[in-house]
Amino acid sequence: MSAEVIGNHRVNHPDGHDRAESALAHHFENLEQQREAGTLGMWVFLVTEIMFFGGLFMAYIVYRTWYPAAFAEASHHLDVRLGGVNTVVLIVSSLTMALAVYSIQVGARRSTMIYLALTLALGLVFLGIKFIEYKHKFEDGLIPGAGFKFEGPYYADAQMFFTLYFTMTGLHALHMIIGVGILLVLIALVWRGKFSPEYHAPVELSGLYWHFVDIIWMFLFPLLYLVGTHLS
């Protein structure tokens, strides 16, 4: 670590270097190695996540190929406006997350806090809208199972669409909830001044996770909400 390069920021954080030193785990040679390991670990974790969602995407591909008309019909029962709003919400939250990572890199603790809080708020907005959507589906009797109500010839296959809809968006929402939890922890840690320009890997890695969850939604939205417009 060269104190000269980061000299500007040491003004804001007189004890920044010590904090960075204490953040070095015993089994690493230096912070650089620790950061490298953490980053690679996060990317590998995201690969496993892709495979985790991949099973469901595979099921989606198979059934959509088999029942394109039923999927188009069922897709019309989703609320494109709410889904669209949620898409925008998540894109903006990715921006605020990226800004939070940038802020901590340059040692701006206050703006890091603000951007993290904004990301948290946007994540909660997403989950709120998702809850409203689920509630509508419940009221419309679109929950797969005995009480499923769907008019027209596609009764069975439309259930498959909604099965996939609930499984995939549900799994995504679960990841969002975990993300919200991570943000809460991050905010507390930034508040207590745990991070510095030398040591901020947790913020960066949480950012990676957050972007990943957003990207999953970028695939879910067109596949589930827009497929009706595309196919019919």
Partner 1 sequence: MQEITTPNTHHAPAAHPSVIHKMPRVHYLNANYGWRSWLFTVDHKRIGILYLVSITFYFVLGGIYATLIRLELATPQGDLLKAETYNKFFTQHGIIMVFFFLIPSIPAVLGNFLIPIMIGARDVAFPKLNLASWYIFNLGGFFMLYAVINGGVDTGWTFYTPYSSQFALGNVAPAALGIFIAGFSSILTGLNFIVTIHAMRAPGMTWFRLPLFVWALYATAIIQILGTPVIAITLAAVGLERLLHLGIFDPAYGGDPVLFQHLFWFYSHPAVYIMVLPAMGVVSELVANMTRKRIFGYTFVAFASIAIAVFGFMVWGHHMFVSGQGMYAGMIFSFLSFALSIPSAIKVFNWTATLYKGSISYDTPMLYAFGFVGLFTIGGLTGLFLAAMGLDVHVTDTYFVIAHFHYIMVGGALMAYLGGLHFWWPKLAGRMYPEGWGRLSALIVFVGFNLTFFPQFLLGYAGMPRRYHAYPEEYQVLNVMSSAGASILAVGLAFPIIYLIWSMRYGPVASANPWGAIGLEWTTSSPPPTENFDHSPVVTWEAYGFRPLEESEVVGQMTPDDRPA
Task: Check binding of 31 to partner 1 (CB under 8 A).
Answer: no
**Shortest reach from residue 177's CB to partner 1, in Å:** 17
Which backbone phi and psi does 108 adopt, to 5 degrees?
Answer: -90, 90
Could you tell me if 189 and 199 are in contact, meaning their C-beta atoms sit under 8 angstroms apart?
no
Place of tokens 């394109």: 68
Q: Could you tell me which residues come within 8 angstroms of residue 7 by beta carbon, excluding any fewer than 6 positions away?
A: none
Task: Check binding of 58 to partner 1 (CB under 8 A).
Answer: yes
Q: Closer to partner 1 by CB, 53 or 102: give it.
A: 53
Residue 60 to residue 163: CA distance in whole angstroms:
10
- The residue within the footprint of partner 1, chosen from 1, 23, 31, 56 (CB under 8 A), is 56
Task: Check binding of 5 to partner 1 (CB under 8 A).
Answer: no
In the DSSP assignment, the letter for residue 13 is: -
Task: Check binding of 30 to partner 1 (CB under 8 A).
Answer: no
Place of tokens 């417009």: 229
Task: Check binding of 182 to partner 1 (CB under 8 A).
Answer: no
Task: Check binding of 51 to partner 1 (CB under 8 A).
Answer: yes
Task: Check binding of 54 to partner 1 (CB under 8 A).
Answer: yes
Residue 212's closest CA among 171, 184, 151, 165? 171
Task: Check binding of 212 to partner 1 (CB under 8 A).
Answer: no
Task: Check binding of 47 to partner 1 (CB under 8 A).
Answer: yes
C-alpha pair distances (Å), 185 with each of 108, 117, 146: 18, 11, 41
Could you tell me if 71 and 231 are in contact, meaning their C-beta atoms sit under 8 angstroms apart?
yes
61-80 binders of partner 1 (CB under 8 A)? 62-63, 66-67, 70
Interface residue list for partner 1 (CB under 8 A): 25-27, 29, 33, 36-37, 40-41, 44-45, 47-49, 51-56, 58-59, 62-63, 66-67, 70, 144-146, 156-157, 159-160, 163-164, 166-167
